[in-house]
Structure 1
């Protein structure tokens, strides 16, 4: 015969163990990533949609984050990551967009998404980028690197990311349904 309260205690311990295991599993999916020699990151977050992950080192002394964004894509596709200083959606975001040309050269465009039909002109962002972006493609995945000055020197930022197709070598609109509409997250660069 079970003691009174024993079942509740067992349920509480089981639930806590399950939550810890699921957290470790989610963390493990990005924590085991490898990068080229000379690159390592103290923190990571498996983003909730589009198979993407963000890795970073936060430097409190100057309010910057050295980061890597990784997302799967076909060779005929593009991926993007950025910060929205004006709100929580895509419009108004300052983003990095990685894609590759027909000859396989990978490039990164820096642009502000001024509307839901942006012009995608390469330019400056709404925050400083002390170390300009670079990207690589391999194994069906883009990885972009950059160092950004976190807007307002605030560790909590509204982040956005996206993926879509190329058409004739140019960035085409991403799907306007499903996970493509869920790719926003308020992220704390200090605590993760």
Structure 2
């Protein structure tokens, strides 16, 4: 009996490891439309969200694929650039959700307040906008947009919500993971010089990384291996 339980425990561990490894943008190429490849990707620090992107300095454009899961299947996901600040107000957002008659749609929003949002044009040019659903319930937003000439960094905001009514995304939750869904993306090549450790009150901008490795993957792997050693000690003394 103990042997059977032990084998079951090890199987659970292997599933956890597989899931931990999948929680990285580097494993998502097969999920992207036409297996499209971007130059860089990054595991965003909250809401289990991921960004694949290519920055073209020659024409000041950014092409992206943003992946996240709505709070509920009938919910929405959003990705935005804020050209004027670091929070929600001022964000130029792409919001995707499942429409009852049009499949997955993506619309543009100029977020001017904390009230209800209305579809509107962005403050910069955007093209090739589309969205799709994955087999695991996530949504992916695709698009290209103009950014400031010779831009060195972009203020990013992203979010997920649980409901869309009459074609309008409803308010998202205000849990810590929602409130922390903003960061700075550094454009260009990653620096070879290690960054200093951030203070508790600061956040570290995300430099573009080939492979987009982050603490999300390493933390999950650490947990999985620790769990394996625990099972081994209990069931295989």
Q: Normalized against structure 2, the TM-score is what?
A: 0.65
Match of 1:135 in 2: 131
Q: 5+ unaligned residues in a row in structure 2: which ranges?
A: 1-19, 190-207, 209-237
Q: 1:104 to 1:165 in 2, by over 3 A?
A: farther
Distance in 1 separating the partners of 2:187 and 2:133: 25
Q: 1:118 to 1:84 in 2, by over 3 A?
A: farther
Distance in 1 separating the partners of 2:59 and 2:38: 17
Structure 1 moving runs of 4+ over 4 Å: none
Match of 1:88 in 2: 86
Deviations 1:91-135 (A, max 9, x none): 1100000011234611111011000114322x2212211x23100
Mapped contact 1:92–1:114 kept (Cα < 8 A): yes
Q: 5+ unaligned residues in a row in structure 1: which ranges?
A: 1-24
Mapped contact 2:76–2:164 kept (Cα < 8 A): no
Distance in 2 separating the partners of 1:132 and 1:79: 18
Q: 1:119 to 1:39 in 2, by over 3 A?
A: same
Q: Normalized against structure 1, the TM-score is what?
A: 0.79
1:39 paired to 2:55: no
Larger % of strand: which? 1
Report matched runs for 1:1-192 at 5 Å. 29-34=24-29, 35-37=32-34, 39-73=36-70, 74-103=72-101, 105-121=103-119, 123-129=120-126, 131-138=127-134, 139-169=136-166, 170-191=168-189, 192=208
Q: Which structure carries more relative contact order (alpha carbon 8 Å, separation 6+)?
A: 2
Distance in 1 separating the partners of 2:181 and 2:28: 21
Let me know the Cα RMSD of the aligned residues. Answer: 2.1
Q: 1:64 to 1:162 in 2, by over 3 A?
A: same
